[in-house]
């Protein structure tokens, strides 16, 4: 059932049929709007569509147990929705009495310059899964935060051998203490703004960068073969990831079409080291662009 919540075909195809009754609706991917509209003229049509399937008894979708959404899509290519998207989802969920689950596993714990990315939109979810960075130094730790009135289980109703690892929880508390003592969120916000400015400038210089987006130290650079047609350029990103790795910089490949270079550096990274990595990235991008130009 958890696998069915993934939108990636590559994870699902080997295991179908899966548990039924999970439905996917368009995300606010403004660079590639599924409705072929432009923001803000679209009036966030993707959020309207969510209300349509809840309001229309013949939409084909049964009354859902919840609406589940990432405040910023991670594996999808660091897709940052407009502010209204999450805010409208919050209002729609309340109107139709459907709990809103905001997945902060990748975007939470300071990654975007706030403890949780949904804070950028002034939206409070009903349920919020958290993991990854909550373990501090990489120890396995995850949790689910939810409204107090949702706490209907008796103590011990959900148990397991590896629940509540004491060492991992101690590391998580230490990481939170460290972040608060040393102003880590402000550090992440500052470096994120500098990185975005650097990459936006590179976008203007680059032939193949279609869009740069992100919040804090969660940044994506989408590559296209042509800035007008926006045809994905996944081969370029595959080669870019390898070439930057050879030069000491790890860039992750992501995106709906595998054409997004994703930056998720440690939150404690220094400004000097971050800018050095970005310079290497820029140099590698421009070098590869020249190679592709000479071949074509």
111 and 16 share one domain: yes
User: Is 0.75 topped by the overall pTM?
Assistant: yes
Conformation bin of residue 200: beta by default, left when phi > 0, alpha when psi is -120 to 50:
alpha
197 and 288 share one domain: yes
Contacts of 196 (CB under 8 A, 6+ apart): 212, 214, 219
Residue 151 has pLDDT above 70, yes or no: yes
Domains in the chain, number? 2
213 and 105 share one domain: no
Q: Of 114, 130, 146, which residue sits at a domain end?
A: 130
The parent domain of residue 123 ranges over: 3-130
pLDDT tens digits, one per residue of 117-144: 999 999 999 999 999 888 887 888 899 9
122 and 195 share one domain: no
Rounded (5°) CA angle 7-10-11: 70
Calculated CA dihedral for residues 242, 246, 248, 252, nearest 10 degrees: 10
Note the pLDDT of residue 165: 85
pLDDT tens digits, one per residue of 47-89: 999 999 999 999 999 999 999 999 999 999 999 999 999 999 9
91 and 9 share one domain: yes
Each as own residue / partner, the long-range contacts of residues 138-144 (CB below 8 Å, 24 or more positions apart, any chain) are 139/165, 139/167, 139/168, 139/171, 139/172, 140/165, 140/168, 141/165, 141/168, 141/169, 141/171, 141/172, 142/105
CATH of the domain at 238: 3.90.1150.10
Residue 8 has pLDDT above 70, yes or no: yes
pLDDT tens digits, one per residue of 202-240: 999 999 999 999 999 999 999 999 999 999 999 999 999
Q: What's the Cα-to-Cα distance from 110 to each of 19, 146, 171, 185, rounded to whole Å?
A: 34, 19, 16, 6
Q: Of 85, 114, 130, which residue sits at a domain end?
A: 130
């Amino acid at each position: 059932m958890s696998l069915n919540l993934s939108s990636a075909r590559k994870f699902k195809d080997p295991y179908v049929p899966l548990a039924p009754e999970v439905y996917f609706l368009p995300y606010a991917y403004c660079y590639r709007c599924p409705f072929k509209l432009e923001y803000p003229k679209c009036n966030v049509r993707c959020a309207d569509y969510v209300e349509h399937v809840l309001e229309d008894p013949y939409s084909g979708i049964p009354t859902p147990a919840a609406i589940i959404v990432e405040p910023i899509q991670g594996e999808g290519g660091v897709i940052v929705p407009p502010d209204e998207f999450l805010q409208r989802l919050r209002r729609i969920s309340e109107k139709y009495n459907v709990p809103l689950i905001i997945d902060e596993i990748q975007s939470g714990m300071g990654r975007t310059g706030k403890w949780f990315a949904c804070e950028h939109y002034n939206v409070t979810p009903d349920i919020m899964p958290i993991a990854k960075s909550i373990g501090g130094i990489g120890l396995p730790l995850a949790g689910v935060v939810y409204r107090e009135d949702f706490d209907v289980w008796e103590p011990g109703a959900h148990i397991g051998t590896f629940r509540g690892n004491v060492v991992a929880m101690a590391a998580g508390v230490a990481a939170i203490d460290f972040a608060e003592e040393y102003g880590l969120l402000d550090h992440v916000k500052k470096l994120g703004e500098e990185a975005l400015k650097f990459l936006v400038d590179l976008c203007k210089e680059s032939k193949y960068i279609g869009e740069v987006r992100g919040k804090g130290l969660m940044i994506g650079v989408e590559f296209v073969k042509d800035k007008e047609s926006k045809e994905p350029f996944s081969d370029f990103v595959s080669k870019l990831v390898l070439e930057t790795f050879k030069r000491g910089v790890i860039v992750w490949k992501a995106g709906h079409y595998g054409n997004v270079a994703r930056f998720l550096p440690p939150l404690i990274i220094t400004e000097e080291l971050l800018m050095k990595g970005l310079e290497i990235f820029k140099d590698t991008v421009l070098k590869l662009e020249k190679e592709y130009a000479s071949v074509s």
